Amino acid sequence: MFYEQRMSVPASPAELRAEYDEEFVQILETAGLEHVSMLTGIDEERLEAIGTDEQPSLSLEEAAQIQSQGADEPDPETIETMACEHLLLGMSTAVLDVDAVESELAIDLDPKEIQQKVERRAPMSFAEYVHLQHVIVGNTP
């Protein structure tokens, strides 16, 4: 579950995203694509593309909505809050500031954007979340 505190990550953000996509696919298969689409408002075509070469763009909020459809999962708001809190906790544990995170990111975010996204003062895509989590957890002792 992407919102849980991680102590290790795979070698690349792409591998981390693939791991999360596998979880999403399992949730979609169990709960039903049409049902999840109806509850989340995410188009079925986008949900079907998860885990394929046609990777859909998801917001962190949408990823939380999908995750919340799994068995015994918290509500989407709680998932999103926990995910961001674990990023902040990870930065503290790894003694990373936003400049250090920015210097290792494979995507283009400046330190101010990173701070705003992690503190939930700006929207975050799920891809951005995965990249941030990969850098932060990858630097945790």
Give domain limits for the chain: 1-141
Task: With residue 46 as reference, give the H or E element that holds it.
Answer: helix 44-48
pTM: 0.95
Q: What is the pLDDT tens value at each position of the chain, 141 positions in all?
A: 999 999 999 999 999 999 999 999 999 999 999 999 999 999 999 999 999 989 899 999 999 999 999 999 999 999 999 999 999 999 999 999 999 999 999 999 999 999 999 999 999 999 999 999 999 999 998
How many residues are present in the chain?
141
Residues 62-73: b if buried by 16+ CB within 10 A, e if exposed? bbbbbbbbbeeb
Q: What pLDDT score does 88 carry? A: 96
Residues 57, 130 contacting (CB under 8 angstroms): no
CB-CB neighbours of 22 under 10 Å: 12
- CA 63, CA 59: separation in Å to the nearest integer? 6
CB crowding 117-139: b at 16 or more within 10 Å, else e: bbebeeebbbbbbbbbbbbbbbb
CA angle (121 as vertex; 117, 126 as ends), nearest 5? 35
Give the pLDDT score at 113: 98
Cα radius of gyration rounded to whole Å, the chain: 15
Q: Token pair of 30, please?
A: 């169990």
